[in-house]
Amino acid sequence: MTDLTKHKGMANAIRALAMDAVERAKSGHPGLPMGAADIATVLFSRYLKFDPALPEWPDRDRFVLSAGHGSMLLYSALYLLGVEDMTVDQLKNFRQLDSMTAGHPEYGHAPGIETTTGPLGQGLGNAVGMAIAERILAAEFGDEIVDHRTYVLASDGDLMEGISHEAISIAGHLRLNKLIVFFDDNGISIDGPLSLAESGDQVARFEAAGWNAARIDGQNPDEIARAIEAAQKSDLPSMIACKTTIGFGAPTKAGKASSHGSPLGADEIVGARKALGWTSPAFEVPAEIRDAWRIAGLKAAHARKDWEKRLAALDGERRGEFERRVRGELPSGLGETIADYKRKLASDKPKVATRKASEMALDVINPVVPETIGGSADLTGSNNTRSKDMKAIVPGDFSGRFIHWGVREHGMAAAMNGMALHGGVIPYSGTFLVFTDYCRPSIRLAALMGRRVIFVMTHDSIGLGEDGPTHQPVEHLAALRAIPNLNVYRPADVTETAECWQLALESRETPSIIALTRQNLPAVRTSYSAENLCARGAYELAAADGDAEVSLFATGSEIEIALAAKALIERAGYAARVVSVPCFELFAEQSADYQAEIVGSARVKIAIEAAVRQGWDRFIDTDGIFVGMTGFGASAPYEQLYKKFGITAEAAAEAALSRLAANV
């Protein structure tokens, strides 16, 4: 068998499996796998450092199928390479319940799926984060322990998405030369030829962002191999624009949108088999082609074993540290450090904004948790995410721990996901809470994938004041609380902020939002508690004198208002209590008894939060009183805004007292 015949057979195996699986599922996308099969074959069989026997090996090359709709490309390759769990039955169960072979690749479903892709552009953003994490760990542990590449297959759709701009420009800026993107340049998207909606020059675009870019025939294995080798030597990130034919081999649908996203149909498949010279029945691969793939799959085993020897040769402490980081376990000293810090806060009782409290917590946490990597989307001085002595990461020097992401919230959030997926680092970074809208697709994916990504979102209400309603979040807390598996924290003071940070770090499979104020807040936790009270999601901060007739529930900056309202209500002769609710999601995980005890049975229930009501009925019922926002904010000093929108202790107390007087 010549090399070319062998290559064609291997690539056709991907094509055949893709069209057969899509046909059997009666849905899916055969076009991309058929068009990009040559790229995948050359990459996977000759260059990708990936050991199917140990797909989690930390120093493996990463492959991200950003165009997740082409999932059968990845599943076929993993099957052919010999990933044990990826059986032919999995391919036959493509897109079926409980299979590993979901419609779009889902992280955690099968070894070798590095990230969940489907929303176009996200995978490219993830890959940038993976490449950053690789450089950071290499700077710390050395090239002999961390030295791998990140490869991406991106489609026209990936590159049309705005997020690609942010991803490409930060990668170019940081000179992530071990990032290699294949652009599946097939000129087709769902609506038809790309010319309907795009006339840019992707190669010029990448070059302008500081990349090496080349154009090749993406159906020619020699050109693909040469381009990969050139990219591997590049000192810039590389983009290889691969001219391909979507649905390659399909007699009437190749090169057309009709091969993009629906089964080819029986006749077309017969024709494609003929055109490709593929005589095997559905889901069968001839032995010699199978063997060629399996032999390719064995290639990285040597590299992996050599790496294991190098790791074993490290001194015990360094090896232990590397392994701890990869496992994602926190250093053992964190609990004690936080306890000492909370003791100090209980005695100092500083009155600071919670964004400042977060910085103070990070000053304590970062020295003992060396894997945290901080950042900000050009709001470092506002987000307070750069702790003492945190050196910035700059192009060519990844020994720092702080990333200036620039004004790129969307790309930042996707890259943070990629860092967390890569492992060995814990990414956290900030912007204003209102701009979670710009990060939301990635926040959702972090939640779906169950990754520890910490979003530090400051300026969390009208309390930010003069910047006005464009910057004042109103619906954001509710919108974020609606995302499953996302913990949304809104701490009320320095101690709660430290506790929320601890919880965020300890939540290995849940991303976190920490919403923080711009304005100063008094310390409301005035005595030391060894227990992390925020861990219960809601707890009684100030008890009533006797049976409470009024329960006040609040978060963050509105705790101060709730406490003042309590005093006013008591002055009028009624017992009232205040419950702090730093995290709805953790509260929902508590026992029914605990929840009932916290919600209580006071005659009047009031929630105070400078945001919309949605979600609060859980605490106050539909007939409870909500003191918050019903529309957008305004531009003014924050004290005036709280008055204007009626979010004051007086308003809350008055509402409670008039309810009590009405004897409801």
Ligand X SMILES: Cc1ncc(C[n+]2csc(CCOP(=O)(O)OP(=O)(O)O)c2C)c(N)n1
The interface region with ligand X, picked from 58-66, 112-120, 201-209, 498-506 by CB under 6 A, is 112-120
Contact 604, 623 (CB under 8 A): no
Report the residue number, 34 or 552, with the smaller CB distance to ligand X.
34
Contact 63, 151 (CB under 8 A): yes
The interface region with ligand X, picked from 19-27, 63-71, 75-83, 447-455 by CB under 6 A, is 63-71
Instruction: Tally Cβ neighbours within 10 Å of residue 466.
Output: 12
The interface region with ligand X, picked from 17-25, 42-50, 64-72, 347-355 by CB under 6 A, is 64-72
Report the residue number, 410 or 659, with the smaller CB distance to ligand X.
410
The interface region with ligand X, picked from 113-121, 230-238, 482-490, 506-514 by CB under 6 A, is 113-121
Known catalytic membership, residue 321: no
- Token pair recorded at residue 252: 């009437």
Distance CA 650, CA 165 (A): 49
Distance CA 561, CA 576 (A): 13
Report the residue number, 30 or 58, with the smaller CB distance to ligand X.
30
Least CB distance to ligand X at residue 102 (A): 14
Instruction: Tally Cβ neighbours within 10 Å of residue 295.
Output: 11
Report the residue number, 188 or 607, with the smaller CB distance to ligand X.
188
| Total of residues contacting ligand X (CB under 6 A) | 20
Q: Which residue out of 134, 223, 409, 549 is catalytically annotated?
A: 409
Phi, psi of 562 (to 5 degrees): -65, -40
Report the residue number, 169 or 189, with the smaller CB distance to ligand X.
189
Least CB distance to ligand X at residue 523 (A): 44
Q: Which of residues 408-447 bind ligand X (CB under 6 A)?
A: none
Phi, psi of 545 (to 5 degrees): -90, 95
Binding track, positions 252-271, relative to ligand X; x by CB under 6 A: --------x-----------
- HEC states along 338-390? HHHHHHHHHHHCCCEEHHHHHHHHHHHHHHHCCCEEEEECCCHHHHCCCCCCC
Least CB distance to ligand X at residue 137 (A): 30
Contact 412, 427 (CB under 8 A): no
**67 near ligand X (CB under 6 A):** yes
Phi, psi of 189 (to 5 degrees): -135, -165
Q: Which of residues 533-562 bind ligand X (CB under 6 A)?
A: none
DSSP conformation letters of 519-570: SEE-----S--SS-GGGGS-EEEE--SSS-SEEEEE-TTHHHHHHHHHHHHH
Least CB distance to ligand X at residue 516 (A): 30
Minimal CA–CA distance to 452: which of 424, 480, 479?
424
- The SS3 of residue 190 is coil
Contact 31, 192 (CB under 8 A): no
Report the residue number, 408 or 518, with the smaller CB distance to ligand X.
408
The interface region with ligand X, picked from 29-37, 124-132, 302-310, 488-496 by CB under 6 A, is 29-37
Report the residue number, 257 or 524, with the smaller CB distance to ligand X.
257
Least CB distance to ligand X at residue 162 (A): 10
Report the residue number, 155 or 517, with the smaller CB distance to ligand X.
155
Please count the residues of the chain: 664
Q: Which of residues 172-231 bind ligand X (CB under 6 A)?
A: 184, 186, 188-190
Distance CA 62, CA 58 (A): 10
The interface region with ligand X, picked from 11-19, 118-126, 501-509, 607-615 by CB under 6 A, is 118-126
Instruction: Tally Cβ neighbours within 10 Å of residue 284.
Output: 15
Binding track, positions 484-513, relative to ligand X; x by CB under 6 A: ------------------------------
Contact 605, 578 (CB under 8 A): no
Binding track, positions 311-340, relative to ligand X; x by CB under 6 A: ------------------------------
- Closest chain position to ligand X (CB): 157
Write the DSSP symbol of residue 47. Answer: I
**112 near ligand X (CB under 6 A):** no
Torsion sign over Cα 12, 192, 151, 228:
positive
Least CB distance to ligand X at residue 161 (A): 6
Q: Which helix (H) or strand (E) holds 49?
A: none
Distance CA 168, CA 411 (A): 9
Contact 339, 368 (CB under 8 A): no
Phi, psi of 387 (to 5 degrees): -80, 175
Report the residue number, 443 or 657, with the smaller CB distance to ligand X.
443
Contact 27, 210 (CB under 8 A): no
Least CB distance to ligand X at residue 499 (A): 36
Binding ligand X (rule: CB under 6 A), the pick from 17, 32, 100, 559 is 32
Q: Which of residues 123-162 bind ligand X (CB under 6 A)?
A: 155-157, 161
Across 348-374, b (16+ Cβ under 10 Å) vs e yields eebebbbbbbbbbbbebbbeebebbbb
Least CB distance to ligand X at residue 192 (A): 10
Least CB distance to ligand X at residue 465 (A): 35
First CA to last CA distance, the chain: 88
Across 567-583, b (16+ Cβ under 10 Å) vs e yields ebbeeeebbbbbbbbbb
Binding ligand X (rule: CB under 6 A), the pick from 112, 118, 221, 628 is 118
- The SS3 of residue 598 is helix
**120 near ligand X (CB under 6 A):** yes
Distance CA 69, CA 30 (A): 9
Report the residue number, 248 or 341, with the smaller CB distance to ligand X.
248
Binding ligand X (rule: CB under 6 A), the pick from 55, 112, 119, 218 is 119
Q: Which of residues 583-642 bind ligand X (CB under 6 A)?
A: none
Report the residue number, 71 or 155, with the smaller CB distance to ligand X.
155
The interface region with ligand X, picked from 9-17, 37-45, 115-123, 233-241 by CB under 6 A, is 115-123
Least CB distance to ligand X at residue 69 (A): 5
Minimal CA–CA distance to 253: which of 242, 262, 244?
262
Phi, psi of 536 (to 5 degrees): -85, 0
Least CB distance to ligand X at residue 483 (A): 17
Distance CA 436, CA 455 (A): 9
Report the residue number, 259 or 385, with the smaller CB distance to ligand X.
259
Side-chain-side CA neighbours of residue 422 (13 Å): 35
Q: Write out the catalytic residue numbers.
A: 409
Q: Interface residues with ligand X (CB under 6 A)?
A: 29, 31-32, 67, 69-70, 118-120, 155-157, 161, 184, 186, 188-190, 246, 260
